[in-house]
Every structure is written in structure tokens, then in C-alpha cells.
Amino acid sequence: VFAQVYELPRSLSVRQAPAAIFSQARESMPIEEGLAAADFQELGNSKNAAWYLFAATYATLVDEYVSVFQSLRLKVSLMTMESLALGAAIIDERNPETTLVLDVGSRTTIASVFQNGALQESININIAGNAITASLAEKLKISQADAEQRKIASGLTAAPGDGAEMLIIQGQLQPPKDELLVFIKYFEKHHGQPINRVLL
């Protein structure tokens, strides 16, 4: 999923806003327009500007999900991004703090920034739990199942012995850490405010 916040002048009418949002999105969206399913929502406005969250993904992916539910005789009335669903569950929209939510899954790590419960920016990092397990299995010459158990048992705590698991895990976490630092720097410069807290 590609997600981006765009700022538009308040002088644009409701009818003009969609064309202006999609025009800005074409410049940075990594999905060809003809292959995309996309939508937007207004996040807020001031006297002179309005901010919109734009999101897009591959239309074929959306069609696949809809087909699965239709085969179960279920009607799909809404599809949302994983980061928006997670934010709705754990972010208090009354809290004005700028919060970075890190959702470390099995295949990807999703980093999302929220302000007052609204998603501002989001990126996917293609390093997560499976990559850590695979690295442990390869470097320690053990099975995937053993590697998974050692990852869970040791984590980033030095276990008795040489601490090999911790060092391997740290090595796997360095690239996502570097990407996160770039993302945080970009957000803080672009939005002119710091990230106040991180939820893992």
C-alpha cells in the first residue's frame, strides 16, 4: 500500500479536490495509475489549507480479497489499510502526541505516524520476524523451528553462553533501524514537529 498526505489550498472546491489529489499522487505513487485502486479522506484543515490522506494499492489485490469474501457469501463494504486498522485500535485520538507505531510482523515491518488519531505517514520495511528466524537458522546451523524458539527465548537479551543469538538478531535489526531513522528525519523535517513516542 502506498500512503501519502497531501496539502491543498482551501480555495479548491469539493469537486476540484479529487483531481488535485490524484494529480499530486501521480508524481510519487510507485503504482501505475491504470493498475491502482485508490481513495482519499480529509484529515483536517486550516484557514488556508486542507490535508488529505491518499492511499493506493493494486486493483488486482483488492479484487482477490473481494472474491474470497464473495465466495463465502459475504459483502465487502469497506477495505482499509492495516496501519489504519491498528491505529484505530490503539491510538487515542484525543492525545495530541505524535506517535510512531511499529508493527513488526512475520514478513514486513510497518512504520506509521499518527497525530490526533489520524495517520500522517506510513512505510513498509521488508525485514521482519521471518528474516530474523532464517538468519538464526543459517548462522547457527539449526532448524527453522529451533531458530524460532531461540528468537523468542533470547530476543535482544544476552542469553547464557556467547550471546550469539542476540548478536545475530541485532545484525538483522540494523537495516530496518537505518530505514526508520531516515523516515523519522523526513517526517520531522516535512511536518516541522518531533515524534513524541514510539509504540512497538
Q: Given pLDDT bands bounded at 50, 70 and 90, which one contains residue 23?
A: very high
Of residues 96 and 101, more confidently modeled? 101
The answer on pLDDT for 195 being more than 90 is: yes
For 113-168, how does the pLDDT look when each residue is reduced to its tens digit (9 = 90+)?
998 888 888 888 988 999 999 999 999 999 999 999 989 888 888 766 678 889 99
Q: Is the whole-model pTM more than 0.85?
A: no
Rounded percentage of the chain residues whose pLDDT exceeds 90: 59
**DSSP line for the chain:** -EEEEEEEETTS-TTTHHHHHHHHHHHH-SS-GGGEEEEEEEEEE-SSEEEEEEEEEEHHHHHHHHHHHHHTT--------HHHHHHHHH--TT--SEEEEEEE-SS-EEEEEEETTEEEEEEEES-SHHHHHHHHHHHHT--HHHHHHHHHHHTTS--SSS-HHHHHHHHHHHHHHHHHHHHHHHHHHHHSS---EEE-
